[in-house]
């Protein structure tokens, strides 16, 4: 087992280091970019995109806060892309990759069980996924502690009830103060983003490994896994664009993969976060923290189990 | 009980039968050569013994263990070199040896390093930058650097120059002398003949025959020319003399056992230009595969 683990670590090392660097640097820069635009300016911009609020996993009122904006960074395509590269590359290598390269036969010529080969890959891929998700979070933490934000402090005003009018109580000009970003953001609030990225990674790695167990060509396993991800994303877009396709949300893993939404629930309603379901204002039911994680991890592990079952029973084709 | 035994072992892929009802027995401590052209079923037989595939019919056992159902235990007793041995290209030679010897409880890095030294392998090089022959030498080293009682090698000397072939055969002889059982396949009749105790011939997935090489070594092949009519072989020699080929005035015989009586009679028939050579595997091979006489020797 130890030899197998070191073999797979060595094999995945380059991809992992590239992904780790990319995700950490991206989060560092992306969170820094938030500081370039004050909350007030951001509120002004986002007002013009009210029609697109339905595409946002959280209400715009949440999105304009620093917490909401930082949570958004975990749902950026680059974060998703990096995690997908790692999980699909390692998952597809589990069986098909080694068969494709012809190295499986040499390996299984030794007293090594197929389960050991399979689950060693699982362990390395899973730990790597957790490390990548943690690095995304760590990049955010470092950036939050390194950066400052400018806040505009307006002179006190008096709001007239029922009339959209504010009467200044002072003639002083608004003042701009610079504060550490950490004053506005608690980094621990984003732990749900870390864990849901990890859970999504486990799901995609499990799916890729399962496909890999049925195939002998790695390129085909990668193609199927990438095609599946694109299809799932298309289903999500379709579901939130047209109400009549809303049911498609039940069939896409991008529904439970909702870092912004989970950060929101985690902070707004901690008790609710630990439920499987949560109820919306119109009586709608959607997955809560436990549900999102449970679905992704559960299906990911199920895929892994199916893959293991298949691999332990299949004929090993001779190297091509 | 034989150390390796297959009974009616068959493997089909759809309508194609790669191995058909193959039964064989290999005694402990013997060297068993598998011969046959490409597609004869040699690798399929070996891969079934290793438990890589489920037999379509029949079963195989190594030391009483079922090769398919108890594959892990079987592989503990077996050291294996695939026909197309491929190694991770990004590793250096020494890393590969360390990895593979670490996979076995009886693996020895020290033994592997000594063997690599004997084969003049540069272990600092990455596998990807090694020549085909060097990679094969590395794979052979991996396969032999342990104490498994059974060694299964699928064409171990493929891609190797004659000097290295001899080195590999030397290693196999050493293993044989240590009492290991060796099963190996090859296209090269000469090397099979030089090391094996028993050989089996496969053709189109079927085991055609097995031959004991110590018996075969007692046989001779005699060629000569005759000008007149060749007389009938006397009853007392029909068991011993067999006409293999008749091409015009040229005749080829195979003589089994004591050659003296047979030669005396042949001389009396008026045959000229007699040449005698020990019967080799080649003659047996040509009987089985008359269409493949151009095979490498």
Give the DSSP letter string of B45-84. Answer: HHHHHTTSS--SEEEEEETTEETTTTHHHHHHHEEEE-TT
Distance CA A4, CA A152 (A): 57
pLDDT at A205 over 90: yes
Question: In whole angstroms, what is the distance from residue B198 CA to residue B297 CA?
Answer: 18
B237-270 core/surface letters (b: 16 or more CB in 10 A; e: else): eeebbeeeeeeeeebbbbbbeebeebbebbeeee
pLDDT of residue A29: 95
Q: Provide the β-strand partners of residue A179.
A: A149
Least confident interval from A215-219, A243-247, B272-276? B272-276
Above pLDDT 70, what percent of chain A? 90
Phi-psi region of B207 (alpha: psi -120 to 50; beta: other; left: phi over 0): beta
DSSP-based three-state secondary structure for B278: strand
Q: What is the mean pLDDT of residues A155-184?
A: 78
- Arithmetic mean of pLDDT over chain B: 86
| CB-based contact B112:B171 (threshold 8 Å) | no
Question: Which residues of chain B make contact with A315, given a CB cutoff of 8 A?
Answer: 52-54
Closest CB to B139 among A4, A6, A106: A106
ipTM comes to 0.80
pLDDT value of position A57? 64
How far is the alpha carbon of A255 from chain B, nearest alpha carbon, in Å?
39
Strand partners, B254: B221, B242
pLDDT at B1 > cutoff 80: no
Q: What is the mean pLDDT of chain A?
A: 88
pLDDT at residue number A55: 65
Q: Say yes or no to pLDDT of B243 above 90.
A: no
> Which among A254-263, B187-196, B258-267 has the top mean pLDDT?
A254-263
Question: Do residues B150 and B180 lie in contact, with contact meaning Cβ atoms separated by under 8 Å?
Answer: yes
Q: Which of A139-153, A279-293, B36-50 has the least mean pLDDT?
A: A279-293
What count of residues does chain B have? 297
- The answer to whether residue A282 scores a pLDDT higher than 70 is no
For residue B129, what pLDDT band results from cuts at 50, 70 and 90? Answer: very high
Q: Give the model confidence (pLDDT) of B278-287 as tens digits.
A: 777 777 777 7
CB B102: neighbour CB atoms within 10 A?
A: 16
For residues A307 and A210, the answer to whether their CB atoms sit within 8 Å is yes
Contact of B201 with B209, CB cutoff 8 Å: yes
Q: Which residues of A touch B69 (CB under 8 A)?
A: none
| Residue with more model confidence, B189 or B153 | B153
Categorize the per-residue pLDDT at B294 as very low, low, confident or very high, splitting at 50, 70 and 90: very low
Chain A residues whose C-beta is within 8 A of a chain B C-beta are 2-4, 6-7, 10-11, 101-103, 105-113, 313, 315-316, 318-319
Residues B210-236 have pLDDT tens digits of: 888 777 777 788 888 887 777 788 888
Judging by DSSP bridges, how do beta strands B250-255 and B31-35 pair with one another? unpaired
**Of residues A175 and B14, more confidently modeled:** B14
H/E segment holding residue A178: strand A175-180
Confidence category of residue B296, pLDDT binned at 50, 70, 90: very low
Q: What is the domain partition of chain A in residue ranges?
A: 2-147+189-313
Residues A109, B54: C-beta atoms closer than 8 Å: no
Pick from A20-29, A232-241, A272-281 the range whose average pLDDT is largest: A20-29
Q: Which among A4, A106, A316 has the least Cβ separation from residue B85?
A: A106
Per-residue pLDDT tens digits for B62-117 = 999 999 999 999 999 999 999 888 898 889 999 999 999 989 988 889 999 999 99
Interface of B with A in 131-150 (CB under 8 A): 139, 142-143
Q: Which of B75, B83, B139 sits opposite A110 (nearest CB)?
A: B75
Q: What is the DSSP string of B185-248?
A: EES-HHHHHHH-SEEEEEETTEEEEEEEHHHHTT-EEEEEE-SSPPPPPPGGGTTTEEEEEEET
> How distant is the Cα of B287 from the closest Cα of chain A, in angstroms?
30
pLDDT the model gives residue B262:
81
Determine the pLDDT at residue B268. Answer: 82
Report percent pLDDT > 90 for chain B.
43
**In the predicted model, is pLDDT for residue B119 greater than 70?**
yes
Q: Please, which pLDDT band fits residue A151 given cuts at 50, 70 and 90?
A: confident
Residue B230 pLDDT: 77
A106 CA to chain B: closest CA distance, Å? 6
- Nearest CA to A143 among A38, A31, A20? A31
Phi, psi of B35 (to 5 degrees): -120, 150
């Amino acid at each position: 087992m130890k030899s197998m683990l070191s073999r797979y670590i060595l094999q995945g090392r380059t991809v992992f280091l590239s992904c780790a660097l990319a995700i950490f640097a991206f989060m560092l820069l992306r969170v820094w970019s938030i500081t370039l635009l004050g909350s007030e300016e951001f509120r002004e911009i986002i007002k013009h995109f009210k029609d697109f609020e339905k595409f946002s996993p959280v209400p715009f009122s949440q999105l304009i806060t620093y917490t909401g904006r930082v949570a958004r960074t975990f749902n950026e395509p680059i974060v998703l892309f990096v995690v997908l590269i790692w999980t699909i590359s390692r998952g597809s290598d589990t069986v098909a990759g080694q068969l494709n390269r012809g190295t499986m036969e040499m390996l299984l010529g030794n007293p090594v069980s197929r389960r050991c080969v399979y689950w060693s890959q699982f362990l390395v891929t899973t730990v790597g996924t957790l490390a990548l998700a943690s690095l995304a979070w760590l990049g955010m933490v470092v950036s939050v502690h390194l950066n400052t934000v400018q806040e505009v402090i307006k002179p006190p005003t008096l709001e007239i009830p029922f009339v959209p009018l504010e009467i200044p109580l002072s003639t002083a000009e608004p003042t701009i103060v610079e504060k550490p970003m950490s004053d506005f953001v608690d980094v621990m609030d984003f732990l749900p983003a870390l864990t849901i990225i990890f859970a999504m990674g486990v799901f995609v790695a499990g799916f890729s490994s399962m496909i890999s167990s049925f195939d002998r060509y790695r390129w085909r396993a990668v193609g199927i896994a990438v095609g599946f991800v694109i299809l799932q994303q298309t289903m999500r877009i379709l579901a939130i664009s047209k109400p009549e396709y809303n049911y498609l949300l039940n069939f896409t893993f991008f529904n439970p993969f909702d870092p912004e939404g989970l950060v929101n629930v985690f902070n707004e309603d901690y008790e609710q976060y630990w439920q499987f379901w949560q109820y919306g204002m119109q009586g709608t039911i959607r997955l809560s923290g436990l549900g999102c994680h449970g679905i992704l991890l559960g299906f990911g592990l199920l895929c892994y189990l199916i893959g293991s079952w298949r691999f332990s029973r299949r004929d090993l084709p001779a190297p091509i | 009980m034989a150390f390796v035994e297959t009974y009616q072992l068959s493997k089909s892929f759809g309508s194609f039968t790669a191995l058909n009802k193959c039964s064989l027995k290999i005694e402990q401590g013997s060297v068993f050569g598998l011969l046959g052209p490409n597609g004869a079923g040699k690798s399929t037989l070996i891969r079934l013994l290793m438990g890589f595939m489920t037999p379509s019919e029949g079963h195989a056992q190594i030391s009483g263990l079922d090769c398919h159902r108890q594959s892990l235990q079987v592989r503990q007793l077996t050291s294996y070199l695939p026909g197309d041995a491929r190694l991770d290209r990004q590793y250096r030679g020494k890393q590969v040896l360390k990895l593979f010897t670490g996979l076995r409880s009886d693996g020895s890095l020290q033994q592997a390093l000594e063997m690599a030294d004997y084969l003049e392998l540069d272990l600092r090089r990455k596998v990807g930058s090694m020549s085909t022959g060097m990679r094969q030498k590395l794979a052979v080293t991996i396969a032999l650097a342990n104490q498994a009682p059974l060694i299964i090698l699928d064409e171990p000397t493929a891609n190797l120059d004659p000097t290295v072939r001899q080195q590999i055969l030397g290693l196999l002889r050493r293993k044989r002398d240590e009492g290991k059982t060796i099963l190996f396949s090859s296209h090269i009749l000469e090397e099979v003949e030089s090391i094996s105790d028993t050989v089996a011939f496969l053709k189109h997935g079927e085991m055609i025959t097995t031959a004991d090489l110590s018996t075969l070594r007692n046989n001779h092949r005699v060629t000569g020319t005759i000008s007149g009519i060749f007389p009938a072989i006397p009853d007392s020699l029909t068991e011993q003399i067999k006409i293999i080929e008749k091409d015009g005035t040229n005749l080829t015989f195979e003589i089994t056992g004591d050659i003296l009586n047979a030669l005396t009679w042949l001389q009396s028939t008026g045959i000229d230009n007699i040449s005698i050579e020990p019967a080799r595997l080649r003659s047996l091979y040509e009987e089985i595969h008359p269409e493949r006489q151009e095979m490498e020797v």
